[in-house]
Structure 1
Amino acid sequence: MEIVIKNLNHIYMPGTPFERQALQDLNMQISSGSFVAILGQTGSGKSTLIQLIAGLMSPTSGNIQIGSYHLTPNSKERLAVRKHVGVVFQYPEHQLFEETVVKDIAFGPRNQGLSEKEVTERVQMAMEMVGLSPELGDRSPFQLSGGQMRRVAIAGVLALSPEILILDEPTAGLDPHGKSELLNTISKLHKERQMTVILVTHDMNDAARFADYLFVLARGTCELEGTPGDVFKEQDHLVQFALDLPDITRLINQLNRQIHPPIPTNIFSMNELENHLIERLKKVVSL
């Protein structure tokens, strides 16, 4: 489902001394089946935006079109949109509450009115999608590791079969291994199921490595957008928004001060960089 956002504004507590404009004349387009990252510092409007896309709030003005649905200030389509959009908020494991893993994942589908057979199929599918062993099904989610608990929470969202998956800082608090495992799982899901994925993150490394397209938010509007290669060329702009470059881009910039021709700056994994340098070395040796 394509997402088209036009002239979107959202004001919290309008007409009071605490009035605050979170989004201002925001325009964005997210292609169906894409993997995008939304970047920005705290207060840039990221969390407000994803809640509006998910139909959890109504905008003050403007329009969000999701497929054939329109979310406007007086729209009655928010409930319908929620059936197509799954949201994984920060530390989703804090929302686990059932006595077993299977029961927790089954909660959403069961409340959609599905038959027990369909619920069981959805649970099995979701556990497989996030790499949870069937043997864990009867265990309490609170007996699992932090990474496994987060997978249970994400499986609970995936069991609803959303066409759009929104992840708000999904790796917060995980160790490097757990972080890498989780993002690789999400990337695999995106590729296998052509699911639209919206990743909200502060981590430039994750954005560069996994997303096809980036949106940089600041002061409630989209200040910069493009492929990772395009966005991370704009170092001066990123500094203005208190955002850094990915580690690998900073490494390539350092290398480019000493070698010629320069290494392309649209390389975002160490494997790609190693392969590029090996190919360059082969050409030098063959001369």
Structure 2
Amino acid sequence: MEPISFHRPVLLGEVREWLSVRPGMVVVDGTLGDGGHSELLCELVGPTGLVIGIDRDPEAIPLVEQRLTRFSDRFLAVNGNFKDLPELVATHTVRPIDRVLLDLGWSTTQFVTRGRGFSFMTNEQLDMRFNPSENTESAGDIVNTASLRELIRIFRLYGEERRAEQIAEAIVAAREREPITTTQQLANIVVSVAPRVGAIHPATQVFQALRIAVNDELAALREALNTITTAIPHNARVAIITFHSLEDRIVKRFISTRTDVKAITKKPIIPTEDEIRDNPRSRSSKLRIFEKV
């Protein structure tokens, strides 16, 4: 059996420094993924602390439980959506939450091994649901049934795609000939009206937009920020790692407009040149941290 290759967590040193986790604390990793950040958090809280890892992807839970077996005295993995974080945590402990971490990136494992059509690098069914058991529309449902206007809105709003109208028109024309069911079909349609220029594949923003729409990611983030802040006690800290401007704007606005939180750093923390060189996927990451006052 080949060894599992885990996703490399970003800004690990910065999370250690600025989240300021101490022994005995209760810390919630609201985006468990492959457990890289939770592994660090388990080390920091020590045997008297507790780390609860939450992930929408049910396949992530047993993988991380196996990875962090040595921390079984202080680690719990829970399947759920981080927007429901306070409720999920309350079912496992009555202790107050001291720290929360949300890493809004998607792990390499989820993109590569789940077979749900998150990436155009492999030819898979167009699903993109984080949890396929949720009774929600898949990416295939959206591209085959959404109106032209709705497709344009999704690509512009969630992908910030300049050629949203041309791409949406091409999709509508293509689906009249046959259903669009695979990632390769969709990527080829995008390329037909937006030829590749430079290193970035022209379907990148379209796939991002569909993933965000399918999983309602931005609404979940807004709800999570409100519910978490209401639930945590004074002096508790929340750290959020974002990877694109849509997410970062939501977090920045939340911190700047709430009167019950304060920013720990004036500007977002970004990866060092060394980290970007060692882990290019970290390039667009930004870390913002706030504290309940």
After TM superposition, the score normalised by the length of structure 2 is 0.32
TM-score by length of 1: 0.32
Q: Answer 1 or 2: higher relative contact order, Cα 8 Å, separation at least 6.
A: 1
Asked which structure has the greater CA Rg, the reply is: 1
Normalized per residue, the structure richer in strand is 1
